Amino acid sequence: MRDSVLLEAPAKVNLYLEVGAKRRDGYHAVRTVMQAVELCDLVGVELAGRGGVIALEVEGEAPRGEDNLCHRAAAAFLEATGLRRSVRIRLVKRIPVAAGLGGGSSDAAAVLRGLNFLAGEVLGSRELLELAASLGMDVPFFLVGGTAMGEGRGERVSPLAQAPPLPLVLANPGTPLSTAEVYRRYDAAGGGEPPRGGAEAMGEALRAGDARRVASLLFNSLQPAACSLVPAVGALLEHALWAGARGALVSGSGPTVFALVSDQGEAEELEKEMGRHAPLVVRTSFRSAGVGLA
């Protein structure tokens, strides 16, 4: 049996994010269409000797030690399965942190998938999804990927028909933005009125591979809050549209903006243009799967 595995942990964008009423537990209900993209972290997972010790090595920008979601995912997996092995994790971080791209959640999903593989699939997919949701609301999506609808707090994930590999450009203003802070601003100031049936329409447009319609249906209730907390976000949206993007939106709670373009040539041009306004710009495309073997 193998004792180590290397996984790709992709970033995601929210093509549609509708925030609903505040629930009794204080969290908002959401309806969101999530799409994995080809920008990935790399996660190496190894089952070492006995002892239950978790060692994490990080290359790039991400918390070291027990606060890292990779560490928490490994601890949760050992506890849930009773496996008494030590775990070594090597994380190569490429996805910007606290950017609305779900990088930490994807890393956690990769650790769960990797450990379950190495341990001989001890957990069924339902148990794995429950464990994932206990770590964070975006984690289950990355086990399901590449295109899916998220409901509840985002953790109830159902796969949607796979979208074509549409090109897009990500632009990050370089200011981390905490999700909690964005929701506080949303509660105080509100967001735009969601289009009726918007999530379903987006799912249909993706299934049909209708890139123009996907662009016309982009929506995020949290966008006004993200723009008011980081004004550079609104400026990036305007630059992207002015430079000819089909559509542009804040991903998740921001501050990353993504812009949909027609082809790789346009993506290259937009990447150059956005590079004049944002410190971090990445050209990528929709990915057909969530976390997976590298």
Residue 226 is a binding residue for ligand ATP (CB under 6 A)? no
Binding mask 238-277 for ligand ATP (x = CB under 6 A): --------------xx------------------------
Kindly identify the residues of this chain, within the stretch 174-213, that bind ligand ATP according to CB under 6 A.
179
Kindly identify the residues of this chain, within the stretch 48-67, that bind ligand ATP according to CB under 6 A.
62-63, 67
Q: How far is the CB of 68 from ligand ATP (least distance, A)?
A: 4
Contact (CB, 8 A) for 207 and 161: yes
Task: Classify residue 133 as left (phi > 0), alpha (psi -120 to 50) or beta.
Answer: alpha
Candidate list 10, 100, 114, 146; residue touching ligand ATP; CB under 6 A: 100
Residue 35 is a binding residue for ligand ATP (CB under 6 A)? no
Residue 62 CA to residue 97 CA, distance in Å, equals 7
Joined together, the tokens standing for residue 1 give 């049996």
Classify residue 240 as exposed, middle or buried by CB count within 10 Å of its CB (0-12, 13-18, 19+).
buried
Q: Of 96 and 247, which has the nearer Cβ to ligand ATP?
A: 96
CB-facing half-sphere around the CA of 263: CA atoms within 13 A:
1
Residue 154 is a binding residue for ligand ATP (CB under 6 A)? no
12 is catalytic: yes
Catalytic site residue from 41, 93, 107, 138: 138
Binding mask 121-150 for ligand ATP (x = CB under 6 A): ---------------x--------------
Q: Which residues of 144-166 are buried (b: 16+ CB within 10 A; e: fewer)?
A: bbbbbbbeebbbebeebebbeeb
**From the CB of residue 28, how many other CB atoms can be counted at a distance below 10 Å?**
17
**Which of the ranges 81-89, 91-99, 233-241, 269-277 carries the binding residues for ligand ATP, by CB under 6 A?**
91-99
Residue 70 is a binding residue for ligand ATP (CB under 6 A)? yes
**Which of the ranges 98-106, 156-164, 196-204, 257-265 carries the binding residues for ligand ATP, by CB under 6 A?**
98-106
Interior angle at CA 223, CA 16 and CA 268, nearest 5: 75
Residue 34 is a binding residue for ligand ATP (CB under 6 A)? no
Q: Name residue, tokens 């994930």.
A: 157
Joined together, the tokens standing for residue 169 give 């450009």
Q: Would you tell me which residues interact with ligand ATP (CB under 6 A)?
A: 62-63, 67-70, 97-105, 107, 136, 179, 252-253
Residue numbers annotated as active site: 12, 138
